[in-house]
């Protein structure tokens, strides 16, 4: 009871506080949020934060969320991205009330521009791009308005009509809002709101050759949809006065913009531009290469939607710049996988063990699928005289505190017997060929009458029953905590060992039935899932995340 109460009293983030106040005061009867991606790249974990915020807020307060594609720049946007974004949002577990596109509103937006011109609040400017930039001034010097701002309403209307009709080439003219060239906030220095682009749009085709800019599309789209809380990242703070200015002068529904700090994560880059470079320049194989921080990559790698939502919840929502520890994300996925993943025994780097006093031909041992699971389901594993264990689980001259197999030392074979090492057989070159052991028949798991306690338990597979698979082990993509903040190109800091492929590992036979939507814990190794590159002939597994390994830490000391 106490616990539950604590959970309910969890403090609100600053946006939840605003929403609660707006609901309490009656400013809003319901809330409506939106998630507004531009379809020019794949969604990443930073977007996941935004998705969880927008959809989570609506869910919590009984409102709804629209998915709206911010597709006002035809040259970078593609349908491929639209599809991947929808898949990712759904996979994360969210349902949108409506699927909209900023391009749905192009006619309306055009009318808004006409309205502004009629109010003498917008004008067609013939200046070149560089001229406009120069006239804008600098943060410390005010800008200057040019002669085009003097054009009559009629002339502006005519020119804008001509722009739409395709009478001008790209860049020849723009439509600007007439706000304030001397404003301290540079966003207000007569921002461009329409530009000419003779480009094919992924939805409207060739209907338009003029396209609205972000500032003249986003807020208006919010307003058209009656979005109550329009949540975006911090870099748009300086745009907010403009956002409000358009709404005020167009006299349309007053959506409100609120800003939070975007997610940064250690050993990761999070800009779509940089991620696109990684893909295009082949540093990774694709947008969903499991080393990428994209949602599709996490999905392929074996992350669960639950774990990502949990992560989003734990990092919170704030306005301060942040750099989240990757280990927090890893904690979240380990926590979930520990509960749901079935255990399997897989030997990565085999060392043959022969049990000299073992003669049974067909023994089957039984092992639990998941000790965390309430329902204690089990599976059968064939045992035999010749087994594989990990090379690293044997030391001829054991280090201090080495609890595993060594000459004369005893270990437990998981779910089977205690064995004792009797002899080490070597190859001509001095390397270890195999290890000979004896087993203790009375030590069988579940029926152990030996009275012995051993410190180590090893995973193993029967040589003649083992099946093989390929493993892909992933490490962080960058060598440094904050690649974007280092000197030079961020790509110089790519970790050359971010992908390790083990072409053949030996697994217990039950892994043959592995399914794409299931997660596995390879005992003492890590969490794995079947990769889409698997075929009838070859199973391929991705390591989602390793298990914590305090022994490896001990060795480093």
Active-site residue numbers? 38, 262, 272
**By the rule CB under 7 A, 457 interacts with RNA:** yes
- 367 HSE (CA, 13 A, CB side): 23
d(CA 330, CA 327): 5
Residue 125 or 289: the one with the smaller Cβ distance to RNA is 125
Residues in region 91-120 near RNA by CB under 7 A: none
Hey, which residues between 523 and 542 contact RNA (CB under 7 A)?
A: 523-524
In the complex, the smallest distance separating the C-beta of residue 217 from RNA, rounded to whole angstroms, is 7
Show contacts with RNA in window 42-71 (CB under 7 A): 70
Nearest-approach distance from CB 353 to RNA, in angstroms: 16
Q: Footprint of RNA on residues 183-242 (CB under 7 A)? A: 184-187, 192, 195-197, 211, 213-214, 217-218, 234-239
**CB 151, min distance to RNA, A:** 16
| Residue 261 contacts RNA per CB under 7 A | yes
- Contact between residue 468 and residue 507 where contact means Cβ atoms under 8 Å apart: yes
User: Does residue 38 touch RNA according to CB under 7 A?
Assistant: yes
Helix/strand number for the chain, H first, E second: 14, 25
Q: Which of 43, 116, 275, 315 binds RNA (CB under 7 A)?
A: 315
How far apart are the C-alpha atoms of 123 and 113, rounded to whole Å? Answer: 10
Q: Give the residue, chosen from 115, 226, 285, 445, that forms a contact with RNA under the rule CB under 7 A.
A: 445
Of the pair 183, 533, the CB lying nearest RNA is at 183
Which residue lies nearer to RNA by CB, 289 or 457?
Answer: 457
Residue 200 Cβ, how far from RNA at the closest point, in Å?
15
274 is an interface residue for RNA by CB under 7 A: no
Bridge pairing between strands 461-462 and 386-390: antiparallel
> What phi and psi values does residue 159 have, to the nearest 5 degrees?
-65, -40
- Residue closer to RNA by CB (options 155, 533) is 155
Is residue 407 within 8 Å of residue 396, measured between CB atoms? yes
Region near RNA per CB under 7 A, out of 12-20, 44-52, 145-153, 352-360 = 12-20
C-beta closer to RNA: residue 503 or 552: 552
Minimum distance of RNA from residue 393's CB (angstroms)? 8
Q: Is residue 484 left, alpha or beta, with left meaning phi > 0 and alpha meaning psi from -120 to 50?
A: alpha
Compute the least distance from the CB of residue 76 to RNA, in Å.
Answer: 6
Among 78-86, 128-136, 250-258, 529-537, which window interacts with RNA (CB under 7 A)? 128-136
The DSSP code sequence of 235-296 is: GGGGGHHHHHHHHHHHT----EEEEEPPP-BTT----HHHHHHHHHTTSSSSTT-TTS-BHH
User: Per rule CB under 7 A, is residue 255 in the interface with RNA?
Assistant: no
Q: Residue 87 interacts with RNA (CB under 7 A)?
A: no
Q: Which residues contact 525 (CB under 8 A, 6 or more apart)?
A: 346, 348, 459, 546, 547
Out of 446, 451, 488, 496, the residue judged to bind RNA by CB under 7 A: 446
CA-CA-CA-CA torsion sign (67, 318, 228, 202): negative
Whole-number Å distance between alpha carbons of 207 and 166: 10
282, 320, 376, 515: residue in contact with RNA (rule CB under 7 A):
320
DSSP string, 73-116: -TTT--HHHHHHHHHHHHHTT---SEEEEGGGGHHHHHHHHHHH
417 near 428, Cβ under 8 Å? no
Taking the least distance from each CB to RNA, the nearer of 4 and 428 is: 4
CA 311/CA 329 separation, integer angstroms = 6
Out of 444, 472, 519, 543, which residue is the one contacting RNA (CB under 7 A)?
444
Hey, CA dihedral for 338, 344, 345, 346, is it positive or negative?
A: negative
Of these, 89, 121, 132, 381, which contacts RNA (CB under 7 A)? 132
Residues 355-414 that bind RNA (CB under 7 A): 370-372, 401-404, 412, 414
Task: Choose one: 104-112, 147-155, 278-286, 454-462; the region binding RNA (CB under 7 A).
Answer: 454-462
Integer Rg of the chain from CA: 31
Q: Tell the smallest beta-carbon distance from residue 205 to RNA (Å).
A: 17
Size of the site for RNA (CB under 7 A): 93
Contact in structure between 229 and 30 (CB atoms under 8 Å): no
> Residue 16 Cβ, how far from RNA at the closest point, in Å?
9
Residue 146 sits in the site that holds RNA (CB under 7 A): no
Of 34 and 239, CB closest to RNA = 239
Minimum separation from the CB atom of position 533 to RNA (A): 26
Nearest to 476 by CA among 493, 491, 495: 495
């Amino acid at each position: 009871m106490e616990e539950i109460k604590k959970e309910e009293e969890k403090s609100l983030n600053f946006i939840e506080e605003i929403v609660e106040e707006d609901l309490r005061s009656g400013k809003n009867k319901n809330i409506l949020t939106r998630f507004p991606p531009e379809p020019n790249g794949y969604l990443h974990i930073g977007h996941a934060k935004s998705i969880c915020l927008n959809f989570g807020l609506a869910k919590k307060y009984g409102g709804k969320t629209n998915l709206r594609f911010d597709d006002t720049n035809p040259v970078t946007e593609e349908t491929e991205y639209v599809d991947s974004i929808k898949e990712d949002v759904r996979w994360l577990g969210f349902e949108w009330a409506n699927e909209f596109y900023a391009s749905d509103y192009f006619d309306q937006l055009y009318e808004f521009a006409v309205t502004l011109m009629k109010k003498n609040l917008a004008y067609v400017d013939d200046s070149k791009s560089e001229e406009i930039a120069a006239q804008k001034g600098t943060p410390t010097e005010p800008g200057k308005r040019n002669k085009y701002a003097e054009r009559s309403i009629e002339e502006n209307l005519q020119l804008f009509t001509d722009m739409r009709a395709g009478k001008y080439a790209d860049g020849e003219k723009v439509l600007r809002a007439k706000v304030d060239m001397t404003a301290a906030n540079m966003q207000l220095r007569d921002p461009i709101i329409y530009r000419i682009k003779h480009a094919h749009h992924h939805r409207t085709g060739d209907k338009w050759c003029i396209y609205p800019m972000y500032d003249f599309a986003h807020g208006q789209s919010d307003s058209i949809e009656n979005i109550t809380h329009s949540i975006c990242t911090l870099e748009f703070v300086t745009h907010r006065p403009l956002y409000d200015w358009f709404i005020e002068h167009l006299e349309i529904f007053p959506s409100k913009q609120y800003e939070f700090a975007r997610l940064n994560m250690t050993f990761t880059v999070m800009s779509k531009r940089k991620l696109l470079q990684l893909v295009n320049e082949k540093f990774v194989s694709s947008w969903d290469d499991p080393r990428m921080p994209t949602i599709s990559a996490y999905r392929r790698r074996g992350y669960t939607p639950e774990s990502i939502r949990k992560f989003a919840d734990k990092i919170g929502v704030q306005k301060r710049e942040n750099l989240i520890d990757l280990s927090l994300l890893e904690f979240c996925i380990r926590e979930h996988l520990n509960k749901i993943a079935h255990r399997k025994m897989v030997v990565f780097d085999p060392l043959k063990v022969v049990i000299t006093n073992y003669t049974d031909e067909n023994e089957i041992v039984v092992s639990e699928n998941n000790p965390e699971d309430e329902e204690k389901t089990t599976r059968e594993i064939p045992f035999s005289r010749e087994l594989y264990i990990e090379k690293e689980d044997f030391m001829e001259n054991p280090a201090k505190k080495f609890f595993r197999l060594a000459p004369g030392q005893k270990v437990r074979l998981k779910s089977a017997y205690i064995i004792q090492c009797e002899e080490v057989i070597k190859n001509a070159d001095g390397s270890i060929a195999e290890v000979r052991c004896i087993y203790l028949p009375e030590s069988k798991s579940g029926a152990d009458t030996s009275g012995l306690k051993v410190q180590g338990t090893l995973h193993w597979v029967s040589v003649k029953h083992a099946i093989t698979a390929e493993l892909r082990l992933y490490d962080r993509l960058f060598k440094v905590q904050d690649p974007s903040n280092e000197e030079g190109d961020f790509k110089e800091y790519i970790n050359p060992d971010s992908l390790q492929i083990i072409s053949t590992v030996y697994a217990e036979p039950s892994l043959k039935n592995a399914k794409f939507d299931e997660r596995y814990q390879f005992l003492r190794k890590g969490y794995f899932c079947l990769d889409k590159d698997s075929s009838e002939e070859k199973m391929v597994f991705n390591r989602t995340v390793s298990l914590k390994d305090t022994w490896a830490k001990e060795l480093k000391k």
